[in-house]
Chain A
């Protein structure tokens, strides 16, 4: 088995005349935390949306665990093992935290209409298992006490955690996080870092978009830098940090 989990080659994404992604290629190894950084508008979220099937790419493609995934629907990609969170949190806001995570179990469970109507033993057992797993995941991300609270009314940091729990409920091989630390204070960010390290230690690979450079540098094994839809650098954080093109992209040519 190769150590590479996600292979992405020559990915193009065009919006009208704008080339939002241009020949982006990279690969993520199993078990690593892979950072995706770049200035605002660099194409990070576009890349996320392409990898999770929300956008169809115009050229190139990507394969996940050896299987080409470009062109599949978001739900098919989630079923293959990529789960994500959203930059602007997209929880099921009016449902309880527990319901949110239970919905995440949908893709790994089976019960259909007839099972539900007849309440067969298999369905009841599955329901119990779904709830048990959801409660475990809420405890895992540290918001077990909030299980019955309405998602929209949770504090901001807890909403971010809940989104991670919901994504983990789909049993992903790759967890893709779009700015999970945005809007968090230093303590919350530190706790997030611990959580992500634990997720990785438990065997889930992580792809992380983040603007908090301290977090990226402290957490990521490797980093990909995008600017204007192009890959301008990639490698371990320490090297990337010193790359003149990266400094130019962030601070302007004079600084480099």
Chain B
């Protein structure tokens, strides 16, 4: 009896969340299309965080250059669907290609760093992220591949035949703007990503990642090919980054190396850590919070100061970083394992502190 009522409550909860997610873009659109764009970027960051969570949260490999895979995916999309090379492949072909290329880069990064752990791995991955960005910046000569710092513009939006995701459309009296249409496809891909994450976590491969994170020597002695399993984590995480990058390129229509700087890597890592490494729902929460709160500040701090003092004393960007720092300090003090920590990770951190 209690079990069935519990299950019913759960399904009602799921249904409510689903309705909220479906209705969300229209509520946001009433506040301005900019908010729908922000929601779309937030979904991309959730997607990225889920990818990084495989590497950092599941396998315990600290990666500070994760944004490089996002860049690879974005450029793969931009080069194959823009006037730059005159190629215009459909998005359902390019997204898998982007995932594959990013996956290859993941293995490329993973292979030489297999023996590194902790700080050393972090430094090498950080360097890798920078190398990719610098390459993108400079691969405009002698053969113009990436168009250097000017970036690539007029990237094709997602489209099925004549149905383009960038146009406005009215269906049954509802106005679907471009960003709203993207919202739904992003949401669908995100749900897929969450399912993939959850299923990987509770699988033979997920357990092998856990074993490596806990004790690599014991994992090897139990017959786990740590080389292969670690590379798999890098490759899986990178493919997520690659897909997110492709979607980013299509939505923005323009990309340049500037979008893929170190701070972005750190941002994604912060989302994973704030939410709770290794816990899929925690990571989702962390990414949503860190995507939306800064934007909220941007839209509230400035008018607030204007109305109070008649002028803007502190710039929103400064306040944003201030609050960000404060949030990290508070988190270290009160929730070191994240807002929604995974049970196992919580125990690991408690042990490290003891």
In the assembled complex, the CB of A236 is this many whole angstroms from the nearest CB of chain B, namely: 30
Which A residues are in CB contact (< 8 Å) with B226? 75
Give CA–CA (A99, B211) in the complex, Å: 9
Which A residues are in CB contact (< 8 Å) with B214? 92-95
Quick one: CB contact mask for B193-226 with A, threshold 8 Å, 1 for yes? Answer: 0011001100111111011001101111111111
**Cβ of A92 and Cβ of B210 under 8 Å apart?**
yes
Which B residues are in CB contact (< 8 Å) with A86? 218, 221
Is A247 part of the binding interface, using a Cβ–Cβ cutoff of 8 Å? no
Binds B, one of A112-120, A192-200, A212-220: A112-120
Query: CB within 8 Å of B: which of A131-177?
Result: 150, 152, 166-167, 169-170
Is B236 part of the binding interface, using a Cβ–Cβ cutoff of 8 Å? yes
Give CA–CA (A52, B195) in the complex, Å: 38
In the assembled complex, the CB of A72 is this many whole angstroms from the nearest CB of chain B, namely: 11
Which B residues are in CB contact (< 8 Å) with A170? 222-223
**Known contacts A113-B205, A127-B204; A90 and B223 CB within 8 A of each other:** no
Is A238 part of the binding interface, using a Cβ–Cβ cutoff of 8 Å? no
**Cβ of A116 and Cβ of B199 under 8 Å apart?**
yes
Give CA–CA (A103, B214) in the complex, Å: 12
**Cβ of A113 and Cβ of B217 under 8 Å apart?**
no
Q: Which of B203, B211, B221, B348 contacts A78 (CB 8 A)?
A: B221
In the assembled complex, the CB of B300 is this many whole angstroms from the nearest CB of chain A, namely: 41
**Cβ of B205 and Cβ of A75 under 8 Å apart?**
no
In the assembled complex, the CB of A154 is this many whole angstroms from the nearest CB of chain B, namely: 13
Is B6 part of the binding interface, using a Cβ–Cβ cutoff of 8 Å? no
Which B residues are in CB contact (< 8 Å) with A90? 215, 217-218, 221
Give CA–CA (A103, B344) in the complex, Å: 15
**Cβ of B200 and Cβ of A116 under 8 Å apart?**
yes
Query: CB within 8 Å of B: which of A26-74?
Result: 52, 54, 73-74
A-to-B contact residues, CB < 8 Å: 52, 54, 73-75, 78-79, 83-84, 86, 90-95, 99, 102-107, 109, 111-113, 115-117, 119, 123, 126-127, 130, 150, 152, 166-167, 169-170
B-to-A contact residues, CB < 8 Å: 195-196, 199-200, 203-208, 210-211, 214-215, 217-226, 232, 236, 344, 347-348, 351
Given contacts A75-B225, A93-B214, A106-B208, 4 further A-B contacts (CB under 8 A): A86-B218, A93-B215, A103-B224, A106-B204
A-B complex: 5 closest residue pairs judged by Cβ atoms: A107-B223, A78-B223, A116-B203, A92-B214, A74-B220
